[in-house]
Chains A and B, each alone.
Chain A
């Protein structure tokens, strides 16, 4: 086939280019700007090269925050993904139960982040919160405002409560797209329940799960509002994740240079992990397909 070359077509891309420039590239350039200069006011600024980057990367408080963040995000993924799949598998496939469970599952997703934080802040209190009260009643000394472990767990449980529904809904959509004939064929072939999951359900959920994992990774890696409302990053630094740390640096201490440098590193980490994950999963799927 002969392709017609017409460079005027590039003009059609211009509007998109402008929108992306205004919404993403220009703000990002501002950050880059801050990360390589020491700016006191618009007239007084010095180029500092990689100094901010070196300072930030050598900061042990940041290392701690990063480790906490990685551990937290992994916990989120390891709980929410299997739990989401498990719940999706048990949901009804027809009848009134379908819409009932959809509504129920969608509820947490509709609540704004800071409200979720507030809900759990109250829910977890030992004096006036139902959750905290019941746990203490069972003889467990639970106080998320004082005990680092309790705070960490509370943030984790809150995230699971808030976001597992997303995984459930995604998986459920994947499961619904499997024609009945697959299950029938599996019965005829004598497949076990596990084999049905492994060879029929899981492959059909693969693409939605990739999206689910990416969304949950990015979101939990950038978690800010809920711990901010619930614990304010404490007690101590137990729930100070990367965003929190960054905000403290940028807004609290007004260290804009290091904060900007760190923002870029942060951004690159997320981009890199997503890219690697996506490429690996997609290539694994294609293997043997020629």
Chain B
């Protein structure tokens, strides 16, 4: 169990990278606190696996350092770092029994058999593998094989951190849920530092205390699930977290307000102050949850926008209305008993929840 610091870390798979595009990881400073349960979230190809392999030592970064509890381990091999990693697809030793598979990481480190036996049985118990310990691993199904891989990651109790690289991809939804609960339990009990890579925001939000979102080789935000929801630091976070994602629109600032497709959207002073220093491409974002939509001859008032309603989906607990003005399409989340009458309505933005982004970064 350790705190992991990444010091001006960057990595390129090319021998002499020139542009930013050549880097799989752009220069980053990052801290994984001791005992944290982190979810690492991001689209395909954003560098999640690269980052994990650098932490575990499978890959040596082309720039920067990795520190475990302040000690520089950048040049150490994985076996010298004392770290566990579980991969996306099951890796098992075919010719060994399930028991030997689980014992393998311990035996390689010369731990005495009594201790090995105790650990193997404990982990097998947690993962419901007790009945299968004597079986050869090769005859098992993908689910069980991946559970064994997971077990090998958990069996050492002295590791600095456990890294999971989308470990539940091949597992069916129910077992996935069970295993996720198990991991969470193990974390609560033993408090190892855990980093859990996933594509799936639900998985991320249920597993982790802190979520790290990566995009294009960079960490774009670190925060609790709530922080990510309420205050996305990057348009990608807004779009990726939440269902449906944040509405993002191109906008201009003029006359003390934002203009989207010729419509005026009121802003607060906080927005205006922050945006006055910005030069990049401006975008305005708001979550579907924070918009209000009135229908049935509603009064436009001073801050309303007339919209066409193109679609209403009833999802049981709530409804999603797709609205349109000019070329912008905006989704609104409505309560289950809010009624939508007719094909048009009045849309209202709440300045408190309206976010401004310059070059995709949050401004205010």
Chain A positions within 8 Å of B, measured between CB atoms, are 179, 181-182, 184-185, 187-192, 195, 199-200, 203, 287-290
Q: What is the bound-complex CA distance between A289 and B89, given in angstroms?
A: 21
Q: What is the bound-complex CA distance between A215 and B309, given in angstroms?
A: 73
Q: Is the CB of B83 within 8 A of A188?
A: yes
Asked if B270 is an interface residue, CB under 8 A from chain A, the answer is: no
Q: Is the CB of B105 within 8 A of A190?
A: yes
Q: How far is the CB of A180 from chain B (nearest CB, A)?
A: 9
Q: Is the CB of A181 within 8 A of B91?
A: yes
- Identify which of A188, A190, A289 contacts B138 (C-beta below 8 A): A289
Nearest residue, chain A, Cβ from B108: A190
Q: Is the CB of B135 within 8 A of A290?
A: yes
- Which residues between 256 and 281 of chain B lie within 8 Å of chain A, taking CB atoms? none
Q: Is the CB of A179 within 8 A of B89?
A: yes
CB-based closest 4 A-B pairs: A288-B136, A289-B139, A190-B108, A185-B91
- Identify which of B108, B139, B149 contacts A191 (C-beta below 8 A): B108
Q: What is the bound-complex CA distance between A169 and B56, given in angstroms?
A: 34
Asked if B85 is an interface residue, CB under 8 A from chain A, the answer is: yes
Q: What is the bound-complex CA distance between A191 and B91, given in angstroms?
A: 14
Q: What is the bound-complex CA distance between A289 and B139, given in angstroms?
A: 5
Q: What is the bound-complex CA distance between A182 and B95, given in angstroms?
A: 14
Q: How far is the CB of A135 from chain B (nearest CB, A)?
A: 43
Which chain A residues border B136 with CB–CB below 8 Å?
287-289
Q: Is the CB of B87 within 8 A of A184?
A: yes
Q: Is the CB of B105 within 8 A of A189?
A: yes
Asked if B84 is an interface residue, CB under 8 A from chain A, the answer is: yes
Q: What is the bound-complex CA distance between A188 and B86, given in angstroms?
A: 9
Q: Taking each of B78, B134, B149, which has the highest tally of chain A beta carbons within 10 Å of its own beta carbon?
A: B78
Which chain B residues border A179 with CB–CB below 8 Å?
89, 91
Q: What is the bound-complex CA distance between A188 and B84, given in angstroms?
A: 6
Asked if B360 is an interface residue, CB under 8 A from chain A, the answer is: no
Q: How far is the CB of A29 from chain B (nearest CB, A)?
A: 43
Asked if B58 is an interface residue, CB under 8 A from chain A, the answer is: yes
Which chain A residues border B139 with CB–CB below 8 Å?
288-290
Which chain A residues border B88 with CB–CB below 8 Å?
181
Which chain B residues border A192 with CB–CB below 8 Å?
108
- Identify which of A182, A188, A287, A289 contacts B56 (C-beta below 8 A): A188
Per-position 1/0 for B194-215, Cβ under 8 A of A: 0000000000000000000000
Q: Is the CB of A187 within 8 A of B87?
A: no
Q: Is the CB of A199 within 8 A of B105?
A: no
Q: What is the bound-complex CA distance between A288 and B104, given in angstroms?
A: 18
Nearest residue, chain A, Cβ from B84: A188
Which chain B residues border A203 with CB–CB below 8 Å?
93-95
- Identify which of B53, B56, B109 contacts A190 (C-beta below 8 A): B109
Number of B positions contacting A (CB below 8 A) = 30
Q: What is the bound-complex CA distance between A200 and B96, given in angstroms?
A: 10
Q: Is the CB of B93 within 8 A of A200?
A: yes
Q: How far is the CB of A243 from chain B (nearest CB, A)?
A: 38
- Identify which of B78, B89, B134, B135 contacts A188 (C-beta below 8 A): B78
**A189 touching B138 in the complex, CB below 8 Å, given contacts A181-B91, A200-B93:** no
Asked if B77 is an interface residue, CB under 8 A from chain A, the answer is: yes
Q: Is the CB of A199 within 8 A of B56?
A: no
Q: What is the bound-complex CA distance between A191 and B79, given in angstroms?
A: 8
Q: How far is the CB of B169 from chain A (nearest CB, A)?
A: 12
Which chain A residues border B91 with CB–CB below 8 Å?
179, 181-182, 184-185
Q: What is the bound-complex CA distance between A287 and B87, given in angstroms?
A: 27
Q: Is the CB of A199 within 8 A of B78?
A: no
Q: What is the bound-complex CA distance between A189 and B138, given in angstroms?
A: 19
Asked if B60 is an interface residue, CB under 8 A from chain A, the answer is: no
Q: How far is the CB of B58 from chain A (nearest CB, A)?
A: 5
Asked if B152 is an interface residue, CB under 8 A from chain A, the answer is: yes
- Identify which of B93, B135, B152 contacts A199 (C-beta below 8 A): B93
Which chain A residues border B108 with CB–CB below 8 Å?
189-192, 195
Q: Is the CB of A190 within 8 A of B79?
A: yes
Q: What is the bound-complex CA distance between A288 and B132, given in angstroms?
A: 11
Q: Is the CB of B79 within 8 A of A199?
A: no
Q: Is the CB of A187 within 8 A of B138?
A: no
Per-position 1/0 for B71-107, Cβ under 8 A of A: 0000001110001110111010111110000001100
Q: Is the CB of A185 within 8 A of B96?
A: no
Nearest residue, chain A, Cβ from B96: A199
**8 A-B pairs with C-beta separation under 8 A:** A181-B88, A187-B77, A188-B58, A190-B79, A191-B104, A199-B93, A288-B134, A289-B136
Q: Is the CB of A185 within 8 A of B87?
A: yes
Q: What is the bound-complex CA distance between A203 and B109, given in angstroms?
A: 23
Q: What is the bound-complex CA distance between A188 and B58, given in angstroms?
A: 8
Which chain A residues border B96 with CB–CB below 8 Å?
199
Which chain B residues border A187 with CB–CB below 8 Å?
57-58, 77-79
Q: Taking each of A182, A187, A189, A195, which has the highest tally of chain B beta carbons within 10 Å of its own beta carbon?
A: A189
Per-position 1/0 for B310-346, Cβ under 8 A of A: 0000000000000000000000000000000000000
Which chain B residues border A185 with CB–CB below 8 Å?
85, 87, 91, 149, 152
Nearest residue, chain B, Cβ from A289: B139
Q: How far is the CB of B163 from chain A (nearest CB, A)?
A: 9
Q: What is the bound-complex CA distance between A188 and B52, given in angstroms?
A: 12
Q: How far is the CB of A134 from chain B (nearest CB, A)?
A: 43
Q: Taking each of A182, A185, A200, A287, which has the highest tally of chain B beta carbons within 10 Å of its own beta carbon?
A: A185
Nearest residue, chain A, Cβ from B163: A188
Q: What is the bound-complex CA distance between A200 and B94, given in angstroms?
A: 8
Q: What is the bound-complex CA distance between A191 and B104, given in angstroms?
A: 8
